[in-house]
Amino acid sequence: MSVEKADDKAIAAAAEHLRAGRLVAFPTETVYGLGADATNGHAVAQIFAAKGRPRFNPLIVHVLSATEAATHADFTPLARRLADAFWPGPLTLVVEMRQGSPLSDLVTGGLTSIAVRSPDHPVARALLAATGRPLAAPSANRSGHVSPTQAAHVDADLGEAVAMVLDGGATAHGLESTIVDARGETPILLRPGAVTVEAIEAALATKVVRGDIDAARPSAPGQLLSHYAPSAKVRLNARDVRAGEALLAFGPDAPETEGPVINLSPSGDLAEAAANLFTALRTLDAAGVPSIAVMPIPEAGLGEAINDRLQRAAAPR
Ligand code: TXA
Ligand code: MG
């Protein structure tokens, strides 16, 4: 694959690849996505092959606007209000697919609903505009691995199945989008992410219900228990560091250690910690330690999404 700085020329070349049914990895404001033309089943199938991902897992469709999304899906009043409040941005809406939508069945994994979002990243938007198609894009990592927040992560994880990686630098949020089921009248949280529950509740003046993962079956990798997993074991809520362990610290009170250590945010800022999370896991993992001790992270705000990813990284494999 070629990794290219995401200038106008590279974006035009990437759009050509996509229109020809090839895969392109591109930056979004959350993590890097592995994109394919969502209307081309052959192209979408290559995503599953490149990721080594079980085929039934549905993908997120990226579009430029709510107007474009509404050509593919039935937008409920709730979906409209959420899109008005958070698009473009890191919120994915699960809505019923429209009859006759040209989206490939592989995108929905056979469900009648689709997950759709309008990304807020200049490169992602320029690519969508240049391609003129909706883009199916899961995170651009091998299935079960840590999501990529830099172009180099994609390069390290995925092989020649990817025609091009557009390098737009490190992503701003560093965590995937929040996924909300917006088919009914009450928003149901299916995956915590870059938009907090508190922000959704404030924007809508409505309570968000935590979804039952089993009820949202068939669910995908972000919802499987062991996911986002580094090679090292992950020990949560650590207040000390054991022999041979690396430390993933948070806040000003990190314990002393001789081993590798990364502090997600020395000041205790959750947005900073989210942005650093996946790169830190990769970096500590690359040190070859058998185990990574992770300090407790507060559960408020973005802490919910950070802890969700850490629990999956620590789950038995
Ligand atoms: O931030 C993000 O959302 C990134 C960037 C690239 O946009 N994408 C991402 O995609 O995280 P992926 O494929 O790694 O995660 C997609 C999630 C899966 O957990 C899947 O279960 C859920 O979306 N999903 C997709 N379609 C769904 C549907 N119809 N109903 C319920 N969940 C769905
Ligand atoms: Mg993923």
> Which pLDDT tens digit goes with each residue over 188-235?
999 999 999 999 999 999 999 998 655 554 444 455 566 677 889 999
Ligand 1: distance of its center to the CA of 178 in Å?
A: 9
Q: How confident is the model at residue 130 (pLDDT cuts 50, 70, 90)?
A: very high
Distance of CA 253 to the CA centre of its chain: 30
Tokens of 59: 């993908």
Separation between Cα atoms, residue 5 and residue 106, nearest integer Å:
30
Q: Which amino acid is at 35?
A: G
- 179 contacts 190 by C-beta, under 8 angstroms: yes
- 162 contacts 1 by C-beta, under 8 angstroms: yes
Give, rounded to a whole angstrom, the gap between the first and last alpha carbons of the chain.
30
Ligand 1: distance of its center to the CA of 93 in Å?
A: 10
Q: Indicate the pTM of the whole model.
A: 0.86
- At 221 the pLDDT is 47
Ligand 1: distance of its center to the CA of 61 in Å?
A: 8
Question: pLDDT (tens digit, 9 = 90+) per residue, 148-200?
Answer: 999 999 998 998 889 999 999 999 999 999 999 999 999 999 999 999 999 99
Write the residue with the smallest CA distance to atom 15 of ligand 1.
Answer: 138
Q: Which helix (H) or strand (E) holds 286?
A: helix 270-286
- Starting from the CA of residue 30, give the closest ligand: 1
Write the residue with the smallest CA distance to atom 27 of ligand 1.
Answer: 115
- 166 contacts 14 by C-beta, under 8 angstroms: yes
Separation between Cα atoms, residue 298 and residue 16, nearest integer Å:
45
Ligand 2: distance of its center to the CA of 39 in Å?
A: 21
Ligand 2: distance of its center to the CA of 225 in Å?
A: 13
Three-class secondary structure of residue 128 per DSSP: helix
- At 99 the pLDDT is 87
Distance of CA 244 to the CA centre of its chain: 31
- Percentage with pLDDT > 90 across the chain: 75
Can you tell me which atom of ligand 1 is nearest the CA of 173?
1
User: Which residues are within 8 A (CB) of 241 and not within 5 positions of it... i.e. 6 or more apart?
Assistant: 247, 255, 257, 259, 261, 293
- At 45 the pLDDT is 82
Nearest alpha carbon to residue 294 among 149, 150, 257, 140: 257
Write the residue with the smallest CA distance to atom 12 of ligand 1.
Answer: 138
Q: Which amino acid is at 227?
A: H
Q: What's the per-residue H, E or C state across 245-284? A: EEEEECCCCCCCCCCCEEECCCCCCHHHHHHHHHHHHHHH
Can you tell me which atom of ligand 1 is nearest the CA of 92?
3
| Ligand 1 neighbours (beta carbon < 6 A) | 28, 30-31, 33, 57-60, 90, 92, 94, 108, 111, 113-115, 137-139, 176-177, 179, 190-191, 216, 219-223
Q: How confident is the model at residue 55 (pLDDT cuts 50, 70, 90)?
A: low
Residue with tokens 């020329």: 9
**Which domains does the chain carry?**
2-210 (3.90.870.10), 233-314 (3.40.50.11030)
- Starting from the CA of residue 182, give the closest ligand: 1
Residue with tokens 């020649």: 160
- Starting from the CA of residue 219, give the closest ligand: 1
Can you tell me which atom of ligand 1 is nearest the CA of 175?
1
- Starting from the CA of residue 188, give the closest ligand: 1
Residue with tokens 């690359």: 286
